[in-house]
């Protein structure tokens, strides 16, 4: 199989929710995970674990939990409404694609569950007084960055799947029913799941990925000052001040 370029992969690895039931070889799954573990983690702790679920009954159970959790997600989506950058048609397609997965998660030949073991800071008394005094702040910091030690690995999985012509996406709805997921997978108390990724050969096609443009989401030096360079431009364009900041 010809290797896809990195940028081609990044630009076309869209969320593919309709997957064929054809099996995916263990060798390919191992290569995907070998790419996943090249990702960074805080303090290089590598406190991750990946559960590869192929057993039909296990997939059925996880699928049922995803279905249940998605009822909550769908109520949230209804209340939140369409993001301004999406057209009505795009939003309808997005909702329909998401809803398809509610009923079909368990049918993907592989369900991959990236997990992290808890990594609490050292006990308060082991710290110097200056840090002990701000221990709660340190706990909040740890909570804030926790996911950043697994989601880079998730993105590597998405790109590695793309390289092998496999469809996948990151889903998180199941976390709303985390205890049930942990019971099905037999996870230790201090291990949590961060994503549920169906993997399989796709029914639909890859990319291209539509996104809000760089200029709309990037500022130069401070909030509100437009980043002006076109993608691919070699010299940075002069920054202009946005008239309507935001």
Ligand X SMILES: Cc1cc2nc3c(=O)[nH]c(=O)nc-3n(C[C@H](O)[C@H](O)[C@H](O)COP(=O)(O)O)c2cc1C
- Give Cα 13 distance to the centre of its chain: 12
Residue 170, interface with ligand X (CB under 6 A)? Answer: yes
The pair of structure tokens assigned to 185 is 């997978």
Residue 138, phi-psi category: left (phi > 0), alpha (psi -120 to 50), beta (remainder): alpha
Q: Which of 10, 156, 24, 169 has the alpha carbon at shortest distance from 97?
A: 169
Residue 172, interface with ligand X (CB under 6 A)? Answer: yes
Least distance in angstroms from the C-beta of 1 to ligand X: 22
CB environment 194-229: b (16+ within 10 A), e (fewer): bbbbbbbbbeeebeeeeeeeeeeeeebeeeeebbeb
When binding is defined by CB under 6 A, the residue of 4, 11, 15, 146 that contacts ligand X is: 15
Residue 101, interface with ligand X (CB under 6 A)? Answer: yes
Residue 53, interface with ligand X (CB under 6 A)? Answer: no
C-beta neighbour count of 123 within 10 angstroms: 9
When binding is defined by CB under 6 A, the residue of 29, 113, 153, 169 that contacts ligand X is: 169
By beta-carbon proximity to ligand X, the closer residue of 147 and 228 is 147
Span from 42-50, 85-93, 164-172, 229-237 in contact with ligand X (CB under 6 A): 164-172
Question: How many chain residues are in contact with ligand X, going by CB under 6 A?
Answer: 11
Considering only residues 58 through 97, tell me which ones interact with ligand X, judged by CB under 6 A. 94
Interaction site with ligand X (CB under 6 A): 14-15, 94, 98, 101, 169-173, 209
């Amino acid at each position: 199989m010809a290797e896809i370029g990195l940028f081609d992969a990044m630009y076309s690895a869209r969320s593919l929710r309709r997957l064929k039931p054809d099996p995916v070889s263990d060798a390919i799954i191992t290569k995907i995970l070998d790419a996943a573990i090249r990702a960074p983690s805080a303090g290089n702790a590598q406190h991750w674990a990946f559960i590869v679920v192929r057993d039909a009954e296990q997939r059925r159970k996880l699928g049922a939990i995803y279905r249940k959790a998605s009822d909550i997600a769908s109520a949230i989506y209804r209340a939140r409404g369409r993001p301004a950058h999406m057209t009505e048609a795009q939003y309808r397609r997005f909702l329909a694609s998401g809803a398809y997965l509610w009923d079909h998660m368990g049918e993907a030949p592989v369900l991959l569950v990236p997990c992290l073991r808890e990594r609490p800071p050292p006990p308060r008394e082991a710290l110097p007084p200056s840090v002990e005094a701000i221990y709660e702040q340190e706990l909040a910091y740890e909570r804030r960055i926790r996911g950043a030690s697994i989601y880079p690995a998730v993105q590597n999985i998405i790109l590695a799947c793309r390289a092998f012509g496999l469809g996948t996406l990151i889903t998180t709805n199941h976390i709303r029913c985390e205890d049930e997921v942990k019971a099905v997978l037999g996870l230790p108390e201090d291990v949590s799941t961060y994503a549920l990724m169906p993997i399989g050969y796709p029914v639909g096609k890859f990319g291209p990925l539509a996104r809000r443009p760089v200029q709309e989401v990037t500022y130069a030096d401070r909030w509100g000052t437009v980043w002006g360079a076109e993608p691919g431009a070699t010299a940075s364009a002069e920054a202009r001040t946005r008239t309507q900041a935001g």
